Each structure stands twice: as structure tokens, then as C-alpha cells.
Amino acid sequence: MEKEILFVINDGPYGNERPYNALHHAMNLSKREGTQVKVFLVADAVNCARKGQSTPDGYYNIERMVKSLAKRGKVAT
């Protein structure tokens, strides 16, 4: 039986750690066998998928994280 997990992110890519934490968790779970992960970006979170982001000092590049999940067909905006 496959487990399905949905992450709904509504915060912008930088300013707090919630989008990073959700994407990081989604990436790790998507590597597990028998687990299907979906990420839905709403409101300010659609900026997480924006191309050519300028990453502030001290933050991970959210664009790269979204790209990694999108390659597996897991991200919807």
C-alpha cells in the first residue's frame, strides 16, 4: 500500500524557514519506497518556483529544491 503525503506551502521562499523545512522534508520522504509526495504552492509560496532567484545570505536556494522535486513531477502551483 502506497502512502500519499501532501505538503501545502503558503509562505514566500525567504524570510522564515517554513518553506525550506517543508521542501526538505518532502524531498527526503520522496526518496522512500512506497511513498508518494506532492507539494502544492499557494499564495506567496508560488515565488518558491520563480526562476533566477537571488538567495539571501544564510538561506538555502529554494528554487533548486523546487526544481529537484519538480523533476519527479511532485510540485503544483
Write down the domain spans for the chain: 3-76
| Secondary structure E strands in the chain | 3-9, 35-41, 75-76
Res. 77: pLDDT tops 80: no
**Grid coordinates standing for 15?**
524570510
Q: What is the pTM of this model?
A: 0.85
Decide: 30 and 72 in contact? Cβ < 8 Å: yes
Segment 24-76, tens digit of pLDDT = 999 999 888 888 888 999 999 999 988 988 888 877 889 989 988 888 766 66
Q: What is the pLDDT of residue 26?
A: 93
Q: How far is CA 33 from CA 1, 20, 36, 66, 73, in A?
A: 11, 23, 8, 20, 16
Domain 3-76: which CATH number of 3.40.1260.10, 3.40.50.2020, 3.40.225.10, 3.30.540.10: 3.40.1260.10
Q: What's phi and psi for 54, nearest 5 deg?
A: -100, 110
